[in-house]
Amino acid sequence: MSQSLSKIYVHLIFSTKGRERALPDEIRHDLHAYMGGSLKGLGCVPIEINTEPDHVHALFLLARTAALSDVVGQLKKSSNDWLRGRGPQFGSFFWQSGFGAFSVSQSQVEDVRAYIRNQREHHRVKSFQEEVRAFLKAYEVEFDERYVWD
């Protein structure tokens, strides 16, 4: 094949440092728009972004020439800087250092979008930690509990 082509959907999950409930509802819309713009700037196509007070879910198409860890690092850095610029209440804001990224098949994109949109209802019955553990188990990712939560 003389041309390089790809279509890789990524479901990205990461939390605030220490899972601090630092993302108030009044900034969510603007934060989602900012993160979507950041992804676009990295050559990725944002599909669905949602936040809860202590974490983010983003579904996007990974740019053909991008390394996932670079995209995540740049997304977290730019949104961290953006948040800190929103006012003194965000002056000590940080994202956690790690992240979870999971592949999504084309046939599951709409289900994942709905899952991300419905985070508020989902977290009425399941904590963020329970949610991440379920993803790790479903994707058969080996992990050490001591290093997952920072």
d(CA 33, CA 56): 13
pLDDT at 114: 97
Q: How many CB atoms are closer than 10 A to CB 65? A: 8
Quick check: 148 pLDDT over 90? Answer: no
pLDDT band at 57 (very low <50, low <70, confident <90, very high): very high
Find, among 146, 122, 124, the residue nearest to 13 by Cα: 122
Per-residue pLDDT tens over the stretch 72-116: 999 999 999 999 999 999 999 999 999 999 999 999 999 999 999
Domains contained in the chain, CATH given: 8-148 (3.30.70.1290)
d(CA 32, CA 57): 10
pTM for the complete prediction? 0.94
CA distances from 21 to 24, 52, 78 (A): 8, 8, 19
What does residue 31 show for φ and ψ, rounded to 5 degrees? -65, -45
> Which range, 3-7, 27-31, 131-135, is most confident?
27-31
